[in-house]
């Protein structure tokens, strides 16, 4: 459940940060969320990755549908993706996801180690 919470927080705060800040604010947000919310390092990677992946995919899809695929088609031709808008959206989301994932890993690994229980 914490992964879901972290994922939602990462996506929401990154969106808000992106209204004003440089694109790489996604790294800071993912880092801070993972620092705050206890997760396994692998879990943090997944929540960071998916948080940004979903955010960027949804935004790109939304923009693209309003534009009627005109620009995404041309860009997907330009970047040798065979004119596939969907592929370009996936690449976009994946690149963002990678940054979010690794930043979340870094944040998570800064957390204090969970204490071993003593009996």
Question: Binding to another protein by residue 95, rule CB under 8 A?
Answer: yes
The C-alpha atoms of residue 49 and residue 56 are separated, in whole angstroms, by 11
Site string for another protein, 39-58 (x = CB under 8 A): --x--------------x--
**Shortest distance (Å) from residue 89 CB to another protein:** 9
Question: Binding to another protein by residue 91, rule CB under 8 A?
Answer: yes
The C-alpha atoms of residue 85 and residue 31 are separated, in whole angstroms, by 30
Contact with another protein (CB under 8 A) among 1, 68, 115, 116: 68
**Token digits for 35?**
């620092």
**Shortest distance (Å) from residue 15 CB to another protein:** 8
DSSP string, 86-105: HHHHHHHHHHHHHHHHHHHH
Q: What is the dihedral of CA 6, 11, 13, 14, to 10 degrees?
A: 130
Contact with another protein (CB under 8 A) among 4, 5, 23, 36: 23
């Amino acid at each position: 459940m914490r992964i879901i919470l972290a994922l939602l927080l990462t996506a929401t705060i990154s969106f808000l940060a992106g209204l004003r800040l440089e694109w790489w604010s996604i790294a800071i947000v993912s880092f801070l969320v993972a620092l705050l919310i206890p997760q396994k390092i692998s879990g943090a990677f997944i929540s960071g990755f998916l948080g940004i992946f979903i955010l960027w995919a949804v935004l790109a899809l939304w923009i693209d549908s309003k534009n009627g695929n005109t620009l995404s088609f041309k860009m997907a031709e330009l970047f040798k993706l065979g004119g596939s808008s969907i592929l370009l959206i996936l690449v976009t989301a994946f690149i963002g996801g990678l940054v979010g994932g690794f930043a979340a890993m870094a944040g998570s690994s800064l957390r204090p180690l969970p204490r071993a229980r003593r009996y």
